[in-house]
Amino acid sequence: MSEEPVKFTLSERDIPTHWMNLLPDLPGEPLPPLSPQTMEPAGPPDLMPIFPMALIEQEVSPEPDIEIPEEVRDAYKLWRPTPLFRARRLERELDTPAHIYYKYEGVSPAGSHKPNTAVPQAYENARAGIKRLATETGAGQWGSSLAFACSLFGLECEVFMVGSSYDQKPYRRSMMQTWGATVHRSPSTLTGSGKAQQAHPTGSLGIAISEAVEIAAGREDTNYALGSVLNHVLLHQTVIGQEAAAQMAMAGEQPDVIVACVGGGSNFGGLTFPFVREVLKGRASTRFVAAEPSACPTLTRGSYRYDYGDTAGLTPLMPMYTLGHDFVPPPVHAGGLRYHGDAPMVCGLVRAGLVEARAYRQNETFEAAVRFARCEGIIPAPEPAHAIRAVIEEAEAAREAGEARVILFGLCGHGHFDLSAYDAFLGGKLEDPEFSEQEMDDALARLPETPAIA
Ligand SMILES: Cc1ncc(COP(=O)(O)O)c(C=O)c1O
């Protein structure tokens, strides 16, 4: 057996004690969200009907670090710290001098990074006396994670699952039900927002969010939980990057480039923010690459302006790259990347030139995922397959430059419930749905008048 390590593991004692808040590091004042009723800056009172105060405080906190409650760290022990791998076999397959590392979040009970925020969100809602959480899910990863977290803290969980994913992944539904959740196919006929969208039977994350927010806003004992986009969600995910930094130090290397996929921005933010802080403080010069689908190219083709987080326009408007809140992306298998907007914090970094965004077609991402699986064993979820595609490009560029660049990427989930997509790819039947510029322009034309963003 060679002496070369493949896995870098930490002990339970090394689970971070604090989440890392990048908000105070960002240049300038953060742009406030806007109230959907008045189009004026939204404050905590606008969020109180659907979120507990502890999470609202985290959303706007100016503190650089926020302590993780003991109960949450205890629950994190069920799967954290997660392993960091050196992809030595992939390096050999690609014949690259690059050193490729990946942080694997698929070891969580739900199979992705999403429980990192589901657990603190369920915890804070239970502490605030809430009885039920309503949410949306795209790929099924977030719904499963929240169902799992609700089962830990005695909460009921109601999930609106995007229609195309509901049909593609019936066992994700079984998983949520196993943890005690109720699952509805979205658009449903249970809400006004769902009834208004019956013409879009494949659904979208935006529609499912509207349905869940409508349920939460209408019931005193029910709150809403979002699996991405918001500052507090990205904050919770920084346990990934903090552990990765410690593990890269164990490996004796620093990443030259960090890659992750972006749907709403939470695994990207979680992995990169601790490293972005080092760059903003002038202590590192790491590059960051965000990978997204060319069928839903928010960061690469979207417009930077205020937009709603959901289709019906019930949520505050956020400053972000957007394809338009009622744009319905074609049904690619990476359901978690089918979102019209992205986290304002990630969008701000793209806008500032600190993060480079790239878009990939569905078939090229599955080709990369299969190549990865045949070297490293793990079958990636379709979402991180986008990151793997970008990593292969980076590794090839390193080979052409003859440089041993260090690449770190987020393998944010496994694809065990996505095998129908692999089936389609392996059978040569996977499509590359087209993005329609015209549909985006039409959706952008329907946005309300809001202040221009400088
Ligand atoms: C496995 C996986 N990766 C990525 C994403 C995209 O979300 P985010 O950009 O917030 O990480 C999702 C969302 O559901 C997901 O399930």
φ, ψ of residue 171 in degrees (nearest 5): -75, -20
Residue 226 has pLDDT above 80, yes or no: yes
Confidence band (pLDDT; 50, 70, 90) for 138?
confident
For the chain, give me the number of helices (H) and strands (E)?
18, 15
Amino acid at 258: I
Nearest C-alpha to atom 6 of ligand 1 is from which residue?
263
For residue 276, tell me if it sits in a domain: yes
For residue 28, tell me if it sits in a domain: no
- Asked if residue 267 has its Cβ within 6 Å of ligand 1, the reply is yes
For residue 174, tell me if it sits in a domain: no
- Asked if residue 412 has its Cβ within 6 Å of ligand 1, the reply is yes
- Asked if residue 112 has its Cβ within 6 Å of ligand 1, the reply is yes
Average pLDDT of 2-16?
96
Instruction: Note the pLDDT of residue 192.
Output: 96
Instruction: Note the pLDDT of residue 449.
Output: 87
φ, ψ of residue 433 in degrees (nearest 5): -60, 145
Nearest C-alpha to atom 15 of ligand 1 is from which residue?
336
Domain that holds residue 330: 71-111+231-431
Confidence band (pLDDT; 50, 70, 90) for 27?
confident
Amino acid at 398: A
For residue 226, tell me if it sits in a domain: no
Amino acid at 415: G
Question: What does the pLDDT look like over 317-337, one tens digit per residue?
Answer: 999 999 999 998 888 888 889
- Does the pTM of the predicted model rise above 0.95? yes
For residue 374, tell me if it sits in a domain: yes
For residue 96, tell me if it sits in a domain: yes
Residue 454 has pLDDT above 80, yes or no: no
Domain at 424, CATH number: 3.40.50.1100
If one residue of 165, 235, 238, 266 were mutated to test the ligand 1 pocket, choosing by the most ligand atoms within 8 A of its CB, it would be 266
- Asked if residue 339 has its Cβ within 6 Å of ligand 1, the reply is no
Question: What does the pLDDT look like over 309-319, one tens digit per residue?
Answer: 998 888 999 99
Instruction: Note the pLDDT of residue 452.
Output: 79
For residue 205, tell me if it sits in a domain: no
Closest ligand 1 atom, residue 229 Cα: 10
Q: What spacing in Å lies between the alpha carbon of 380 and ligand 1's midpoint? A: 12
Q: What spacing in Å lies between the alpha carbon of 139 and ligand 1's midpoint? A: 8
- Asked if residue 226 has its Cβ within 6 Å of ligand 1, the reply is no
- What percent of the chain is predicted at pLDDT more than 70? 100
Closest ligand 1 atom, residue 342 Cα: 9
Question: What does the pLDDT look like over 63-108, one tens digit per residue?
Answer: 999 999 999 999 999 999 999 999 999 999 999 999 999 999 999 9
Q: What is the mean pLDDT of the chain?
A: 96
Domains: count for the chain: 1
Q: What spacing in Å lies between the alpha carbon of 401 and ligand 1's midpoint? A: 32
Residue 149 has pLDDT above 80, yes or no: yes
Q: What spacing in Å lies between the alpha carbon of 336 and ligand 1's midpoint? A: 5
- Asked if residue 265 has its Cβ within 6 Å of ligand 1, the reply is yes
φ, ψ of residue 310 in degrees (nearest 5): -135, 170
CA 406 to chain centre: 23
For residue 80, tell me if it sits in a domain: yes
Greater pLDDT, 312 or 176: 176
Complete DSSP assignment for 348-410? HHHHTTSSEEEEE-HHHHHHHHHHHHHHH---B-HHHHHHHHHHHHHHHHHHHHT---EEEEE
Closest ligand 1 atom, residue 105 Cα: 1
Q: What spacing in Å lies between the alpha carbon of 38 and ligand 1's midpoint? A: 31
- Asked if residue 336 has its Cβ within 6 Å of ligand 1, the reply is yes
Closest ligand 1 atom, residue 233 Cα: 10
Residue 38 corresponds to which tokens in the numbers above?
């008045």
Q: What spacing in Å lies between the alpha carbon of 104 and ligand 1's midpoint? A: 13
Question: What does the pLDDT look like over 183-217, one tens digit per residue?
Answer: 999 999 999 999 999 999 999 888 999 999 999 99
Question: Could you tell me if residue 129 is left (phi over 0), alpha (psi between -120 and 50 degrees) or otherwise beta?
Answer: left
Nearest C-alpha to atom 14 of ligand 1 is from which residue?
336
